[in-house]
C-alpha cells in the first residue's frame, strides 16, 4: 500500500484544527455538565411506588429546606429532577445542593409522606459529595494528566528521542480534548469515571503511536537520511497499518459490547471511550508521524 | 517428521490452560471482592473536625510541619500555587492518637452490622474512608441505619443540676437494649446501662444529692431522657427510657457499647448503591464483557487462523491469571476497574496482533515458519515493551493520585498490563514455538498467509 500520509500532512492538520474549532464552540455554547463529583451536591435515585410526575416531585421538594453553600436557607424547589428507567420501571433522579444527614432524612420523610408505600428498599442510590472533595477531584485530574504527560515525555525521549516524544504527546492531548468534547456533545454528566475514561484513552492512544514509532525507529536504522524521511515514515505507517486497524477493531468490539449491551450505568464511561479509541486510531496514523516530520523539517532548516 | 515431544508440550500447555480455567472459575466467582458500585453498599468519606479553641501553634512547630510534608503534598501545594490557589489550612491540631482511637471505635460500630470485609482506612492526615458492601440477600443491613450509626459521636453525659457533666459514657461497662416495665407498668423498649466501680460511685453520689429531682441524660449535647430520681442507686445500674422502638434501642446500645468518638466527624462524601442497582450492573457488564471476549476470539481465529486460535487460548489464560491475581491480592473490582480490564484485554490482543502481522510479513519474505516465528517475536518485543511501559507509567501516576475507585482502576490497569505482557511474550510464544517445531503444519495457510 502506497498512501502518502506525509505529503498530505497539511490536510490532516487542517482537519484536526477544524475539529478543535468545532469542539471549542461546543464547549463555549453548550458547556460541560459537571456532576456532583465536581460541584458537590446530593444525588438520589429513588423508586416512587405508584408513579410520579416531575412537578409532583418538585412540589414535595419545595417543602424541604436546606442550607446552601453560602449559608442561606433555601428550599429544594430548584433542584435538578430527571425521570429515568430503572429495574421496576420509572425512577427519579434528584440532584440538590449538598445536604447534611438531617436534611437528607427530612427529604426522605417528605417523600415517604407523599408516597406512603415508600420504604428504604426504594432508595436505589444516594450520593453526597461535599464541595471540598469536588474541587480536589478536578485538581487531581488535571495534575494526573500533567504528570502522566511528563512521565511519558521522559520515557519516550529516553527510548527514542525528544522529537518523537513531542510528536506522540500532541495527538494524545488532541484525543483527550475530543473525549472531553464528546461529554459536551452528548450532554453526559462529568463524574469521577470521566477522569478514568480520559486517562484510559491517553494510555491507549500512546500505545498506538508507539507501535508506529517503533517501526519508524527500526526503518531509520536502514536509511536515516533526511531526504528519504517522508518515504520511510510512509512505509512505517503502511507496514503497521493492518496491526493498527485490527487492534482498534478488537478493542472497539469489546468496548462496543459494553456500550450496547452493558446497561445504563456503564454508558457514561464506555461512550467516551469508544469515541476516544476511534479518534486515537486516526491521530496515531494521521497526526503523530506528520508532526514528527514537521519537527524534523524545522531541525533541518535550523541546521542549514 | 513430526516432533512428538514438541506436539505433546503444546497439548500439555493447552490442557494446563483449560484446567486452570476450570479450577479457577468457581474460586473467582466465590472470592472476588466486588466494589460497592457492583454489589451495593455504603461508601463514606469522613473528615475529623478541628476542636474549637485548639488553634494556637508556635512557629517552631510550623517549620517542622513544612519538613514533614511528603513529596506528594509538596507537589499538590505547588500545583495549587500555580492557580493562585487557596491558603493552606493548618491541619495538625488533630493528634494521631485521636485518629487511631476514632478508627477503632468506627471499626467496633461497623463490626456490629456483621458485614463481610468492611474497609475502614485512614486517608491522609485527617480523613477516614469507609466502604461497606451490603449483602443483597440480607435486607436487615439497612443502609440508612448504617449511615446513621457511623457518623454519631455518641457522647453520653449525665449532668447535675448546675449543668456540669459528672459522668460520661467512658465509665460504662455494659449497654443493652431491653423491654422493661415503665412507671405505668407497660413493657417499653429501654437501654439498660451498667457502670464500672468508679462510675457506680459517682452515680450513687449523684442520685443521693438529686433525690426528687430530674437528672438529664445527654447524647451528643441533646437531652434524650430526664428520669426523676426516686431512690439512691448504688449498684451502678441505670436505664434510658423514652425510646420509640426496640430497633432504636439496640442501635443506641450498640453506639454506647463501642464508645464515643474522640473526634467530631463531618461526612464529606456519602454514596450508597442499592443492592438491586448494584447486582444489575454487575450481571449486564459481565455478560457484555463475555460477549466482547467471544467476538474478539471469533475475529482473531477468522483473521489469523491457527495463530488466532492460539491467541484466543492465551486470552483465556490472561483472563484467568488476572482475575486470580485480583483474588489473591484482595483487590476490589469496581466498574472503572472493569474498564481497566477491557483496556488491557485490548492491549493483550494488540501484542498478539503485532506478533502475527510480523509473522505474516516474515513468511511472505520467504522465511521458514520456524525462522519467521522467532523473528516475529524478536522484532515485536521492543514495540510491545515500550507501549506497555508507557501505559504502566500512566497507571502508576493514577495510583499515586487517585482515591477509591480511580485507584481500583489503576490497580487493575497495571496488573492487566503485566498479565498481558506475560501471556503474549511467554504463553503465546511457547505455544507458537512448539507448534511450528512439531512439523505438523503442511502449509503456511494455517499460519495466515496465502499458501
**A226-236 pLDDT, tens per residue?**
899 999 999 99
Average pLDDT over residues A83-105: 80
CATH topology of domain B4-35+276-447: Multidrug efflux transporter AcrB transmembrane fold (1.20.1640)
Task: List all residues of chain A from 112 to 171 with a beta carbon under 8 Å from chain B.
Answer: 120-121, 123-130, 132-133, 139-140, 142-144, 146-148, 151-152, 155-156, 159
**CA closest to A160 among chain B residues:** B386
Q: Which pLDDT score, from 0 to 100, does residue A124 have?
A: 80
What is the distance in angstroms between the Cα of A258 and the nearest Cα belonging to chain B? 5
pTM: 0.77
B435's grid cell: 507448534
Q: What percent of chain B has pLDDT over 90?
A: 20
Range in A82-91, A182-191, B428-437 the model is least confident about? A82-91
Same domain? For A88 and A227 the reply is no
Chain segment A187-224, per-residue pLDDT in tens: 888 877 777 778 778 888 888 899 999 999 999 999 88
Same domain? For A157 and A92 the reply is no
Q: Which pLDDT score, from 0 to 100, does residue B82 have?
A: 67
Q: Which pLDDT score, from 0 to 100, does residue A283 have?
A: 95
Chain A contact present for B45, CB below 8 A: yes
The CATH architecture assigned to B156-258 reads: 2-Layer Sandwich (3.30)
CATH topology of domain B39-150+263-273: Alpha-Beta Plaits (3.30.70)
**Which of B41, B247, B230, B373 has its CA nearest to residue A126?**
B41
In whole angstroms, give the CA distance from residue A84 to residue A52. Answer: 12
Model confidence at B241: pLDDT above 90 = no
Same domain? For A17 and A153 the reply is yes
ipTM above 0.90, yes or no: no
Model confidence at B403: pLDDT above 90 = no
List CB contacts of A18: < 8 A, sequence separation 6 or more. Answer: none
Average pLDDT over residues A42-66: 86
Average pLDDT over residues B394-411: 77
Contact A179, A276 (CB under 8 A): yes
Chain B partners of A207 at a C-beta cutoff of 8 Å? 347, 350, 387-388, 390-391
Q: What are the residue ranges spanned by the domains of chain B? A: 4-35+276-447, 39-150+263-273, 156-258
Range in A136-140, A154-158, A201-205 the model is least confident about? A136-140
Range in A141-145, A176-180, A300-304, B6-10 the model is least confident about? A141-145
Chain A partners of B390 at a C-beta cutoff of 8 Å? 152, 155-156, 203, 206-207, 210
Domain boundary among A95, A129, A163: A129
Model confidence at A55: pLDDT above 90 = no
Whether A70 maps to a domain, the answer reads yes
User: What is the 3 state secondary structure string of chain A?
Assistant: CCCCCCCCHHHHHHHHHHHHHHHHHHHHHCCCEECHHHHCEEEEEECCCCCCCHHHHHHHHHCCEEECCCCCEEEHHHCEEEEEEECCEEEEEEEECCCCHHHHHHHHHHHHHHCCCCCHHHEEEEEEECHHHHHHHHHHHHHHHHHHHHHHHHHHHHHCCHHHHHHHHHHHHHHHHHHHHHHHHCCCEECHHHHHHHHHHHHHHHHHHHHHHHHHHHHHHHCCCCCCHHHHHHHHHHHCHHHHHHHHHHHHHHHHHHHHHCCHHHHHHHHHHHHHHHHHHHHHHHHHHHHHHHHHHHHHHHHC
A298's grid cell: 524545522
Contact A120, B144 (CB under 8 A): yes
Amino acid at each position: 500500500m502506497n498512501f502518502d500520509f506525509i505529503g498530505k500532512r497539511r490536510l490532516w492538520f487542517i482537519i484536526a484544527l477544524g475539529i478543535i474549532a468545532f469542539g471549542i464552540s461546543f464547549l463555549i455554547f453548550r458547556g460541560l455538565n459537571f456532576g456532583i463529583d465536581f460541584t458537590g451536591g446530593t444525588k438520589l435515585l429513588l423508586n416512587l411506588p405508584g408513579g410520579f410526575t416531575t412537578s409532583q416531585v418538585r412540589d414535595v421538594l419545595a417543602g424541604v429546606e436546606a442550607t446552601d453553600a453560602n449559608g442561606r436557607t433555601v428550599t429544594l424547589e430548584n433542584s435538578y429532577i430527571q425521570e429515568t428507567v430503572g429495574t421496576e420501571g420509572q425512577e427519579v433522579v434528584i440532584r440538590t445542593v449538598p445536604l447534611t444527614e438531617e436534611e437528607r432524612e427530612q427529604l426522605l420523610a417528605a417523600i415517604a409522606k407523599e408516597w406512603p408505600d415508600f420504604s428504604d428498599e426504594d432508595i436505589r442510590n444516594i450520593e453526597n459529595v461535599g464541595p471540598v472533595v469536588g474541587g480536589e477531584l478536578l485538581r487531581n485530574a488535571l495534575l494526573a494528566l500533567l504528570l502522566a504527560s511528563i512521565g511519558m515525555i521522559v520515557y519516550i525521549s529516553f527510548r527514542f528521542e525528544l522529537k518523537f516524544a513531542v510528536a506522540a504527546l500532541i495527538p494524545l492531548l488532541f484525543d483527550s480534548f475530543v473525549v472531553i468534547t464528546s461529554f459536551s456533545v452528548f450532554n453526559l454528566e462529568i463524574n469521577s469515571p470521566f477522569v478514568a475514561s480520559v486517562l484510559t484513552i491517553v494510555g491507549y492512544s500512546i500505545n498506538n503511536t508507539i507501535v508506529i514509532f517503533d517501526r519508524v525507529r527500526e526503518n531509520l536504522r536502514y536509511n536515516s537520511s533526511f531526504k528519504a524521511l517522508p518515504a520511510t515514515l510512509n512505509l512505517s505507517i503502511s507496514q503497521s497499518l493492518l496491526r493498527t486497524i485490527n487492534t482498534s477493531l478488537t478493542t472497539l468490539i469489546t468496548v462496543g459490547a459494553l456500550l450496547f449491551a452493558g446497561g445504563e450505568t456503564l454508558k457514561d464511561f464506555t461512550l467516551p471511550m469508544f469515541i476516544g479509541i476511534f479518534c486515537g486510531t486516526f491521530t496515531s496514523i494521521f497526526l503523530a508521524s506528520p508532526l514528527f516530520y514537521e519537527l524534523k523539517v524545522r531541525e533541518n532548516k535550523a541546521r542549514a | 517428521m513430526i516432533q512428538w515431544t514438541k506436539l505433546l508440550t503444546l497439548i500439555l500447555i493447552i490442557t494446563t490452560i483449560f484446567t486452570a480455567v476450570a479450577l479457577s472459575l468457581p474460586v473467582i466467582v466465590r472470592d472476588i471482592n466486588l466494589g460497592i458500585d457492583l454489589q451495593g453498599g455504603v461508601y463514606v468519606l469522613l473528615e475529623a473536625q478541628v476542636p474549637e479553641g485548639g488553634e494556637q501553634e508556635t512557629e517552631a512547630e510550623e517549620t517542622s510541619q513544612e519538613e514533614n510534608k511528603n513529596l506528594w503534598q509538596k507537589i499538590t501545594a505547588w500545583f495549587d500555587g500555580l492557580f493562585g490557589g487557596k491558603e493552606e489550612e493548618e491541619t495538625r491540631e488533630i493528634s494521631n492518637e485521636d485518629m487511631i482511637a476514632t478508627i477503632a471505635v468506627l471499626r467496633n460500630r461497623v463490626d456490629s452490622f456483621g458485614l463481610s470485609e468492611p474497609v475502614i482506612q485512614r486517608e491522609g492526615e485527617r480523613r477516614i474512608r469507609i466502604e461497606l458492601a451490603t449483602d443483597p440477600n440480607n435486607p436487615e443491613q439497612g443502609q440508612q441505619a448504617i449511615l446513621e450509626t457511623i457518623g454519631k459521636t455518641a457522647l453520653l453525659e449525665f449532668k447535675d443540676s448546675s449543668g456540669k457533666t459528672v459522668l460520661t459514657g467512658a465509665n460504662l461497662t455494659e449497654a443493652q437494649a431491653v423491654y422493661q416495665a415503665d412507671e405505668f407498668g407497660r413493657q417499653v423498649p429501654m437501654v439498660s446501662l451498667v457502670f464500672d466501680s468508679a462510675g457506680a460511685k459517682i452515680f450513687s453520689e449523684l442520685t443521693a444529692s438529686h433525690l426528687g429531682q430530674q437528672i438529664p441524660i445527654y447524647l451528643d449535647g441533646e437531652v434524650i431522657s430526664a428520669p426523676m430520681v426516686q431512690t439512691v442507686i448504688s449498684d451502678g445500674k441505670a436505664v434510658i427510657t423514652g425510646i420509640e422502638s426496640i430497633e432504636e434501642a439496640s442501635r443506641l446500645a450498640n453506639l454506647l457499647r463501642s464508645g464515643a468518638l474522640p473526634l467530631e466527624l463531618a461526612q464529606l462524601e456519602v454514596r450508597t448503591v442499592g443492592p438491586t442497582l448494584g447486582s444489575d450492573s454487575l450481571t449486564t457488564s459481565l455478560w457484555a464483557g463475555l460477549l466482547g471476549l467471544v467476538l474478539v476470539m471469533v475475529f482473531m481465529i477468522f483473521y489469523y487462523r491457527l495463530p488466532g486460535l492460539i491467541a484466543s487460548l492465551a486470552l483465556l489464560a490472561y483472563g484467568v491469571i488476572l482475575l486470580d491475581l485480583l483474588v489473591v491480592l484482595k483487590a476490589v473490582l469496581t466498574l472503572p476497574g472493569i474498564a481497566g480490564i477491557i483496556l488491557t484485554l485490548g492491549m493483550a490482543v494488540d501484542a498478539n496482533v503485532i506478533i502475527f502481522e510480523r509473522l505474516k510479513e516474515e513468511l511472505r519474505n520467504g522465511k521458514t515458519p520456524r525462522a519467521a516465528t522467532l523473528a516475529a517475536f524478536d522484532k515485536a518485543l521492543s514495540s510491545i515493551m515500550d507501549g506497555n511501559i508507557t501505559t504502566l507509567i500512566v497507571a502508576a501516576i493514577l495510583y499515586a493520585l487517585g482515591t477509591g475507585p480511580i485507584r481500583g482502576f489503576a490497580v487493575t490497569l497495571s496488573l492487566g498490563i503485566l498479565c498481558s505482557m506475560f501471556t503474549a511474550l511467554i504463553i503465546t510464544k511457547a505455544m507458537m514455538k512448539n507448534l511450528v517445531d512439531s512439523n505438523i503444519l503442511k502449509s503456511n495457510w494455517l499460519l495466515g498467509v496465502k499458501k
